[in-house]
Each structure stands twice: as C-alpha cells, then as structure tokens.
Chains A and B, each alone.
Chain A
C-alpha cells in the first residue's frame, strides 16, 4: 500500500468534516482511505497536461434572477424541523466569540 494514512491525517480530516471516530473506526478509516487513495493514484497514469479541468459539463452561462422580492414570511415552515428553537430562532450551544 503506497498511501499510508497517519493518525494525524485522520484526526485532521475529522476536524474538517466534523466527524468523530472511535479507535476501531479510525484504524479501519486509515486502511480504507489508504486503499481508496491507492486506487485513485491510477489517475497519475493519465497525461492530462493538455486539457483544462472541467467543472461544468455543458457550456451554460449567465443564469440570473431579477432583483424582485418574491418570498414572504415563511418562518413557521423554516422552523418546522428545528431540533431546538426559541422565539423564532434556532438554538445552538453558545458560540464563543
């Protein structure tokens, strides 16, 4: 296995993705990521120097909307699935500024 994923990498990725893995899960994740990256390394066989990265598959451009207020007050709907709400706002643990 050419790609050896370290504990630090898994921790780092966990912070980026807000995922917390158990010790076992971490071991498995290291193996999985390693083999997935090995497989992805196959792309290095390909000479892609003469082509630009393509994000959008069709040349569609300039899709716009006019600056007209259409939406009204839909607060009830927006809060309908809130795990915790108070006075029309979503409640989260205190954010430290």
Chain B
C-alpha cells in the first residue's frame, strides 16, 4: 500500500487535495493491519466499524471546509491507557478487560477536533509498567524488524504500528522512557514533551508526576505537527502548564549553526553497546559538520536516577492503582467472602506480576518508618538531578545521547532479571524526573539488523531546540522501514 508508506502530514495533504478519500486511507490502514497484525500484535482493539463511520463524518466536514488542519482525515492509533469514549480501554490489563470509558482523554479530543480518525488501541506493558511490552495481559507485541525481538515498552504497540505502517502515526505515553525507548528499538521518531504540556486528563495514571503523552511517527515533521495538535492548556488538569507558544512546527528548520550540543560522558561508559555508541556519536558528528558546537561534559548523578525513579514511580503507582478494586468498574473476582477478600482476590487475579511487584514496592517505600529513608530521599535526589540538568542547560541547548544501552533484546530475555531491565532505562529516566522534553529518532541499524536510536534532550519548554536539531539531522538520512512494511506493500 503506497498510502501507508506516506507520513501523516503527506497523507493529510493528499486528502486535502482530494487525491484520496479518508475512507481509502482507513481501508489502506486496515489492510496493512490484516497483513501484519498476526505477526506483531500491535493492537488490543481494532475499531473497524467505528473508524469507517468516522471516516465518513470527517470526509463530510473536510468537504464542507470545517476541517482544514494538516491531520484531518488521517488515521491514528492510541495507546490503550488513554480513555476513549465508547471504545474498550484496558491498559493491557485483565483488571480492565471490559472497561468502556464514558469520556475521552483531552489529548485524544484534541486530535478528534483536528479531524483524526481513531482506528484502534495499541498494546502496551500492563499499566505502562515495563520496557518490553511483554507484561501485557493480552500477549506481547513483537518487533517488526525481527519478530524474535521485543519492540521495547511500554508504548510498544504504538511504535510497532507506526514502524510496520499499520498507521501513519500513534500516541504513546512516557513515564520513564516509554515513548523514546520503543521508538529507538523500532526505528521511528517519538517525543516526550515537557511535563504539563499535554493534558493528562483521561490518561490512566501510572506515575502522576512523571507521565506525559506524546507522538510517535516516521519523521520529525509529523511529530512536531502532532504535538501542536495535542498540546493544550487544560483546566481539568491542575498540573497542566499554560505555554507561551505552541507552534512547534516553526522549529522544522534545517539549521543548527551555533547550536550548542552537550554529550554527557557518563552516558558512554560501561554497559553501552559498541554499535549503539558508534551510531550515536556518529549522529553528533553529523550535527557538528552542519555547524553545531559539540562538546563532552559531566552530567553526574546518572546512576542515581534509576533508583530514585523506581521509588517515586512505584509509590505513586501503588496509590494510583488502588482504585482498581472490583467495586466501580473492571474485573471483580467471581467468588469471594466479604469485602476485603473481594478486594484481594480481584486485584491479585486482575493484575500481572510486574504490576504487583511495583505496587508492593511502592506501598513499602511509603509505609510508616520507611517514608523518609526511601520516598523523601528519592524526592531529594530528584531535586539534585533537576539542578544538574539546569546547570547543563546553562551551557548547552541540546543534550545528546543514546536512547537505550542496546538495541531490542530478544523476547523472554528481560523479565527474569528485573534490575537488569530497569537499568535499560538509564538514559531516559532522568528526563522524566526533571520534567524535560526528550526526542528519540533513528540513527542507524546494528549488525543484527535492529534499529538504533539517538536521544535529544532539551531544557524545559524548549521543544523547539530538539525539534530543530532532530530535523536537521534527519535531512542527512533516508527513512528506513522494516521488511514487513515493504512486504505488506503490494
């Protein structure tokens, strides 16, 4: 399907120019899904009927001149932790196996206002807890580049749907790297915006002080366009920030002359795969050749980010997930004796192992006697990490490094050693702790044929810097797609 090889913005233009109808786009997406879903399992729910119906409505509005934006009529996939009215929303968990929200997340509403056609909900690590999409209660998602490998997580399904060209773009969420890491494993572009940029209303919370929704697409132009559509100040979200500017696409300029890029030495030590290192440093070189000023520096505190993150995220998660108790919605165990038994059985049967692990850890670190030593300590560490970044951004506009220490691991390799899995988040996690914007994009393929991603981190509210750097770098490359996307194309 030629259509599915286009970017969202390109598809939007074709729709606008009446070269193709919205219905044809949706049908093309559905056809690609039919071709590859069996191999990769990106989706929890595919809303065939709903999408086709919506296509008619959107087409009518486009024809009437009511929808004129760049994404009007373009199909999109939404990670299954964002509520969509009337459409099953599960967080890839058994405990929400039958939950149909009666309201839609603000970010998705923004997309609908822009004329998006939601085609389905993508698979994820259960409640966004994981880095491989293997903790999904509905089966793992597989990497379209090599289906023996994971796609990364927790927004695995969103990234594979884009990489395998089932949809031109998707929404993911990022709490510790959940957009950026799978984007790098799948060879696509993903952005986690500054905390507070995209409303969290309707996003089923994992780590409230860390979660953000962001775009996943095949190029930087798409991501900037989507971000412009979904970012908004939302009075329903008290942590929503009223930004001064939302015109992210104005940064799509191929000019990095004088842009100061810092490369943390601490990111390039032990544990980093050699090929990844080479590709990432290669990207820095390219930018330097284009006029950027590239310099190494010491970021410090890198190794403390992960324990601090896990304390904070688990603590918040243990509280955020308390509402899943079989009373108001979701799974309720069939046989129970009394209230507390119902709670325990519903939750123990409904949640998977990784979720239970983190809830227990979170409950522990908040419990009486441990709160100061663990939780408050982690919050102090977070303050220090923010300070370290603030200091770095006095000297640099962009901090550049790997998105992950390796390329995609094999299925089944990660879950047995949770600590090792957590260590994989080393480059992405501190960005969430400090609330900064981060972008991941392809910068190479390793000898196993798996994509390598480079991460660009900006100062808070400075998405434009990383978009500009990413766009400039992208101009020196051609987009590479997995064979599955070529194969699926007729």
Chain A contacts to B: CB under 8 angstroms: 9-10, 12-14, 16-21, 25, 29, 32-33, 35-37, 39-46, 48, 51-58, 60, 63, 65, 74, 77-78, 80-84, 90, 92-95
Cα(A8)–Cα(B195), bound, Å: 39
Q: Cβ of B363 and Cβ of A16 under 8 Å apart?
A: yes
For B419, the chain A residues whose CB sits under 8 A away are 35-36, 39
Does B268 sit within 8 A of A, measured CB to CB? no
Does B23 sit within 8 A of A, measured CB to CB? no
Cα(A52)–Cα(B435), bound, Å: 17
Rounded to whole Å, the gap between the CB of A25 and the closest CB of chain B is 8
Instruction: Return the contact of B326 from the options A17, A48, A83, A95 (Cβ within 8 A).
Output: A83
Q: Cβ of B310 and Cβ of A36 under 8 Å apart?
A: yes
For B479, the chain A residues whose CB sits under 8 A away are none
Q: How many residues of B contact A (CB 8 A)?
A: 72
Given A40-B310, A43-B308, A43-B377, also A90-B327 (CB < 8 A):
yes
A64 to chain B: closest residue by CB:
B238
Q: Cβ of A18 and Cβ of B343 under 8 Å apart?
A: yes
Instruction: Return the contact of A57 from the options B195, B327, B329 (Cβ within 8 A).
Output: B195
Does B325 sit within 8 A of A, measured CB to CB? yes
Cα(A1)–Cα(B56), bound, Å: 61
Given A13-B364, A36-B310, A92-B327, also A57-B102 (CB < 8 A):
no
Rounded to whole Å, the gap between the CB of A48 and the closest CB of chain B is 4
Does B46 sit within 8 A of A, measured CB to CB? no
Q: Cβ of B343 and Cβ of A53 under 8 Å apart?
A: no
For A63, the chain B residues whose CB sits under 8 A away are 238
For B363, the chain A residues whose CB sits under 8 A away are 13, 16-17
Q: Cβ of B239 and Cβ of A60 under 8 Å apart?
A: yes
Chain B 364-379 interface residues, beta-carbon cutoff 8 Å to A: 364-365, 367, 374, 376-379
Known: A33-B357, A58-B241. 12 other contacts (CB 8 A): A19-B351, A21-B348, A25-B353, A29-B356, A33-B360, A35-B419, A52-B383, A60-B241, A78-B102, A81-B328, A83-B329, A93-B341
